[in-house]
Amino acid sequence: MPNPIFILNGPNLNRLGVREPEIYGAETLDDIRAACADRAMAFGFNIEFRQTNHEGQLVDWVQEAADAAAALVINPAAYGHTSVALHDALKLVDAPIVEVHLSNPAARESFRRRNYVTRVADGTVSGFGATSYVLGVEAACRFAMKRSD
């Protein structure tokens, strides 16, 4: 088996399903985990799927991904808009980085327009609900396979 695709989730995403479903959809994070596992498996990858509400924990996991991931899919949630520490950690990752968002932050409040992750991601998928993750995982797998050619 190749290295896994790391899928890291930031704050409040553990509340998906009950958190503002009109914005973030009805799926829970467990539903999203299952959809990501299926998509990755179709390309021959396992996933390492995690969520935390803590910025330092996310930084630690990004560092772990730098050593052990075939690719990194990250929904930084609110830390994308605030965290230089997360930005700096992502710069340590050589593997492909795909940023995902359930909603389309660019079409929301102005404070969501600044994003410290977008600058270091290879690409971003936003606005498609849980499908953003599935598309993001597919992009991550394709990029990871290209890298190992």
112 lies in the binding site for ligand DQA (CB under 6 A) = yes
Give the integer Cα–Cα distance in Å for 49 and 119: 23
Helix (H) or strand (E) holding 94: none
Letters for 69-98 (x = contact with ligand DQA by CB under 6 A, - = none) are ------x-xx--------------------
53 lies in the binding site for ligand DQA (CB under 6 A) = no
103 lies in the binding site for ligand DQA (CB under 6 A) = yes
How buried is 42 (Cβ within 10 angstroms: 0-12 exposed, 13-18 middle, 19+ buried)?
exposed
- Total count of residues recorded for the chain: 149
Question: In terms of CB distance, is 35 or 78 closer to ligand DQA?
Answer: 78
Instruction: Tell me which of 39, 65, 101, 116 binds ligand DQA, using CB under 6 A.
Output: 101
- The β-bridge partners of 144 are none
Q: How far is the CB of 129 from ligand DQA (least distance, A)?
A: 9
* Terminal C-alpha separation, the chain: 15
Residue ranges in contact with ligand DQA by CB under 6 A: 12, 75, 77-78, 101-103, 105, 112
